[in-house]
């Protein structure tokens, strides 16, 4: 059955009006004669207006009531003047109210076939979002100060060891959790509804950072692992998910279904973070990282491979020595000696195979729970 055109138009208008009323933003439409021809309920709420203030009224009537609410009415009026003098004018700005409310204002012209029909204004209340961003900035600054202070303590305590190599190791290892904090902060700013998810990620990253620093405090001797039943697959997945890497690097996971291992989860997580970060740094032009996990009767076998620049043959014999330094022309860094010591303290083994120009494979073996 054909629906009459008039019915279709009416239905379309009804749907459009419903969507505008449901919008979280305040919306007003001003025609070419500068009269207010449409507004939604949210617009009235934001500006503390009543329908009688806007219905069939020139926009200036509403503006006069609005100005007394603002911290900087001159700036508000200046943008209005520019918008109605220039029919192509588009802008987004922030408006601060005397009572602390913060509104994001955006305007675009209503034009079709170069004919000007008026202007539409959007007003979004970003008060809570802005407060959360300030809280996050304060929280992040606090964290940075805390990490800086603890790092300084470690450097002072270890001045006699390795001529500053500890500081480089700290910077290397903390890169992953700090990048996770940065990503979470960015996500929370872009989508305030993910505030709780971002906060949980930040708290996890803070805990990981402090565990690393505490471990490094006694870095002149290898700490005994605190072995307990641990979900090894979960540790691998979290390390991959929180790994900072550019868009031109792809990561593939191939894990078997045996998840329980008798390990120190914090120490093994740091091993994966180090190896994965080295793989990223070995591929400045992008590539593929593959993480696989298999098992036999006695052990788990985990391989982390990359398609990066590879490691020269003459470098391989000294790769896991703590005194080994490099400017990372092959994606190598401090932390590999820690990885080897940690895996061996778990009764396992860490090996490396590499072909210059083709890539590198690190193989970890960890005992299974018998």
Phi, psi (rounded to 5 degrees) for 354: -150, 145
Angle at 344 between CA 270 and CA 311, to 5 degrees: 70
What's the pLDDT at 193?
Answer: 77
What's the pLDDT at 64?
Answer: 85
The CA-to-CA distance between both ends of the chain, in Å, stands at: 71
Q: Is 181 in contact with 205 (CB distance < 8 Å)?
A: yes
Who has greater pLDDT, 214 or 70? 70
What value does the mean pLDDT take over residues 75-96? Answer: 92
What value does the mean pLDDT take over residues 270-289? Answer: 92
CATH number given to 228-367? 3.30.565.10
**Choice among 47-51, 54-58, 167-171, 322-326 with the minimum mean pLDDT:** 322-326
3-state secondary structure the chain: CCCCHHHHHHHHHHHHHHHHHHCCCEEEEEECCCEEEEECHHHHHHHCCCHHHHCCCEHHHHHHHHHCCECCHHHHHHHHHHHHHCCCCCEEEEEEECCCCEEEEEEEEEEECCEEEEEEEEEEECHHHHHHHHHHHHHHHHHHHHHHHHHHHHHHHCCCCHHHHHHHHHHHHHHHHHHHHHHHHHHHHHCHHHHHHHHHHHHHHHHHHHHHHHHHHCCCCCCCCCCEEEEHHHHHHHHHHCCCCCCCEEEEEEECCCCEEEECHHHHHHHHHHHHHHHHHCCCCCEEEEEEEEECCCEEEEEEEECCCCCCCCCHHHCCCCCCCCCCCCCCCCCHHHHHHHHHHCCCEEEEEEECCCEEEEEEEEEECC
257: its two tokens: 């279904």
What's the pLDDT at 196?
Answer: 80
- Residue 8 pLDDT class (50, 70, 90 cuts): low
Who has greater pLDDT, 206 or 370? 206
What's the pLDDT at 200?
Answer: 81
What's the pLDDT at 1?
Answer: 36
Q: Is 333 in contact with 277 (CB distance < 8 Å)?
A: yes
Q: pLDDT tens-digit profile of 172-214?
A: 667 677 777 878 787 887 787 778 887 888 888 877 777 666 6
Count CB-CB contacts under 10 A for residue 133: 15
Q: Is 273 in contact with 239 (CB distance < 8 Å)?
A: yes
- Residue-range domain boundaries for the chain: 5-125, 128-217, 228-367
Who has greater pLDDT, 169 or 328? 169
What value does the mean pLDDT take over residues 223-227? Answer: 82
What's the pLDDT at 70?
Answer: 93
User: What count of residues does the chain have?
Assistant: 370
What value does the mean pLDDT take over residues 354-364? Answer: 94
- Residue 119 pLDDT class (50, 70, 90 cuts): very high
Q: Does domain 5-125 have CATH number 3.40.50.10310?
A: no
Q: pLDDT tens-digit profile of 311-358?
A: 988 888 888 875 444 434 444 445 788 899 899 999 999 999 999 999
**Cα–Cα distance measured from residue 30 to residue 48, given in angstroms and rounded to the nearest whole number:** 18
307: its two tokens: 């398609």
297: its two tokens: 């009767």
- Residue 160 pLDDT class (50, 70, 90 cuts): very low
**Cα–Cα distance measured from residue 263 to residue 226, given in angstroms and rounded to the nearest whole number:** 7
- Residue 11 pLDDT class (50, 70, 90 cuts): low
All residues at 6 or more sequence positions from 27 whose CB lies less than 8 Å from its CB, including other chains: 20, 38, 39, 40, 42, 43, 120, 121, 122, 123
What value does the mean pLDDT take over residues 41-50? Answer: 90
Who has greater pLDDT, 14 or 362? 362
Q: pLDDT tens-digit profile of 101-115?
A: 999 999 999 998 889
- Residue 275 pLDDT class (50, 70, 90 cuts): very high
- What rounded mean pLDDT belongs to the chain? 83
What percent of the chain shows pLDDT beyond 90? Answer: 42
What's the pLDDT at 317?
Answer: 86
- Burial pattern 90-101, b for ≥16 Cβ within 10 A else e, equals eeeeebbbeeeb
From the number of C-beta atoms within 10 Å of its C-beta (0-12, 13-18, 19+), residue 23 rates as: middle
**Choice among 45-49, 155-159, 210-214 with the minimum mean pLDDT:** 155-159
What value does the mean pLDDT take over residues 56-66? Answer: 84
Q: Considering Cα of 175, then 181, then 183, then 185, what sign does the dihedral take?
A: negative
Q: pLDDT tens-digit profile of 121-145?
A: 999 999 998 888 888 888 777 877 7
Q: pLDDT tens-digit profile of 242-274?
A: 888 889 999 999 999 988 899 999 899 989 998
Who has greater pLDDT, 287 or 208? 287
Q: Is 305 in contact with 359 (CB distance < 8 Å)?
A: yes
């Amino acid at each position: 059955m054909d629906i009459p055109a008039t019915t279709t138009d009416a239905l379309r208008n009804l749907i459009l009006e419903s969507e505008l009323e449901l919008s979280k933003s305040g919306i007003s439409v001003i025609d070419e004669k500068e009269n207010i021809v449409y507004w939604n309920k949210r617009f009235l709420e934001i500006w503390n207006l009543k329908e009688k203030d806007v219905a069939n009224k020139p926009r200036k009537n509403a503006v006069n009531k609005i100005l007394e609410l603002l911290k900087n009415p001159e700036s508000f009026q200046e943008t209005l003047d520019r918008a109605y003098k220039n029919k192509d004018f588009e802008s987004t700005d922030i408006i601060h109210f005397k009572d602390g409310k913060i509104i994001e204002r955006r305007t675009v012209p209503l034009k079709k076939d170069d004919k000007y029909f008026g202007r539409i204004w959007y007003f979004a209340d970003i008060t809570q979002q802005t407060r959360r961003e300030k809280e996050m900035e304060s929280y992040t600054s606090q964290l940075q100060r805390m990490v800086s202070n603890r790092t300084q303590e470690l450097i002072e305590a270890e001045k006699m060891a390795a001529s500053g190599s500890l500081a480089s190791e700290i910077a290397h290892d903390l890169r992953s959790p700090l990048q996770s904090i940065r990503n979470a902060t960015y996500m929370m700013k872009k989508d305030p509804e993910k505030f709780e998810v971002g906060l949980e990620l930040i708290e996890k990253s803070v805990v990981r950072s402090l565990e690393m620093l505490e471990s490094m405090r006694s870095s002149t001797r290898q700490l005994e692992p605190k072995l307990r039943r641990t979900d090894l697959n979960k540790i691998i997945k979290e390390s991959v998910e929180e790994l900072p890497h550019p868009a031109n690097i792809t990561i593939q996971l191939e894990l078997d279904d045996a998840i329980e291992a008798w390990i120190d989860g914090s120490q093994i997580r740091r091993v994966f973070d180090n190896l994965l970060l080295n793989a990223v740094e070995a591929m400045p032009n992008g590539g593929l990282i593959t993480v696989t996990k298999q098992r036999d009767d006695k052990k788990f076998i985990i391989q982390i491979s990359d398609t990066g620049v590879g490691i020269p043959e003459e470098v391989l014999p000294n790769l896991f020595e703590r005194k080994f330094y490099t400017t990372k022309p092959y994606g190598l860094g401090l932390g590999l000696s820690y990885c080897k010591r940690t895996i061996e303290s778990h009764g396992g083994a860490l090996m490396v195979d590499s072909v210059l120009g083709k890539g590198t494979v690190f193989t970890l073996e960890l005992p299974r729970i018998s």
